[in-house]
A and B are shown apart, each in its own frame.
Chain A
Amino acid sequence: NAGVMQNPRHLVRRRGQEARLRCSPVKGHSHVYWYRQLPEEGLKFMVYLQKENIIDESGMPKERFSAEFPKEGPSILRIQQVVRGDSAAYFCASSPKRAVEETQYFGPGTRLLVL
């Protein structure tokens, strides 16, 4: 079984550009979570999505950041007008359902560097 796939693995953007990060969950998983890891820090929760629904975006900055998980295709984390402070590793995780006993399986992450 393929695990969580994220692409690109590395992304370089200049300030003001847009960054699009993609996450394909484990086949059959309908719950996706995005986390951000700043340098020298642990991962921090950003947003939780189910197919076509945003369940909790409390960890996501109010401006410039958006996320979606369409009925078909991968989940997308979009960062508009990137700034240097957005440089981080962005991890996606998935689970088959929300049930508390379910483990979240992580992808390899996308390293975003803003020049």
Chain B
Amino acid sequence: AQTVTQSQPEMSVQEAETVTLSCTYDTSESDYYLFWYKQPPSRQMILVIRQEAYKQQNATENRFSVNFQKAAKSFSLKISDSQLGDAAMYFCAYRSLSGGSNYKLTFGKGTLLTVNP
């Protein structure tokens, strides 16, 4: 079974600075998707960014980018020019592309990001 590990329960960053959130995963599969979801105080789950494992190029979405290291099974999220609205719980998630359960998302326990003004 796949597992997703987020080793940083909490992180903080100064407004306008850059922060990196870590995520590692364990899988024996070669085809999969990785996601970062944001859960602000409203508790709504918001998709931040998605990475296809077959793509070598790291995904980017405005101020959000990932460092995908497939061999190391690492998928970190970098937030540049941090804003107060970035304060939230961030979840890393894995989704297999093979087998009969390719619809299931497996989540890490989350990293709580605080942005200091």
> A: which residues have CB within 8 A of B?
31, 33, 35, 40-45, 48, 56, 58-59, 89, 91, 93, 95, 98, 100, 103-109, 111
Per-residue A-contact encoding for B31-54, CB less than 8 Å = 1, 0 else: 001000100001111110010000
Contact partner of A43 (CB less than 8 A), chosen from B42, B45, B101, is: B45
Interface of B is mostly: loop
Interface of A is mostly: strand
Stretch at the interface among B14-22, B61-69, B103-111: B103-111
Contact partner of A109 (CB less than 8 A), chosen from B44, B93, B101, is: B44
Q: How far is the CA of A58 from the CA of B108 in the complex (A)?
A: 19
Q: How far is the CA of A24 from the CA of B64 in the complex (A)?
A: 30
Interface centre among B45, B104, B106 (most CB of A within 10 A): B45
B117 to chain A, nearest CB (A): 27
Chain B residues, Cβ within 8 Å of A48: 103-104
Q: How far is the CA of A93 from the CA of B107 in the complex (A)?
A: 14
Residues of B68-117 contacting chain A, CB below 8 A:
91, 93, 95, 97, 101-110
Does B102 lie within 8 Å of A41, measured CB to CB?
no
B4 on the interface (CB 8 Å rule)?
Answer: yes
Interface range on chain B (Cβ under 8 Å from partner): 20 to 34
CB within 8 Å for A103 and B43 given contacts A33-B103, A42-B107, A48-B103: no
Nearest 6 CB-CB pairs, A to B?
Answer: A42-B107, A106-B45, A45-B104, A108-B44, A43-B107, A100-B97
Does A35 lie within 8 Å of B44, measured CB to CB?
no
Q: How far is the CA of A45 from the CA of B109 in the complex (A)?
A: 14
Chain A residues, Cβ within 8 Å of B108: 42
Interface centre among A41, A43, A103 (most CB of B within 10 A): A43
A48 to chain B, nearest CB (A): 6
Q: How far is the CA of A108 from the CA of B44 in the complex (A)?
A: 4
B114 to chain A, nearest CB (A): 17
Chain A residues, Cβ within 8 Å of B47: 103, 105-106
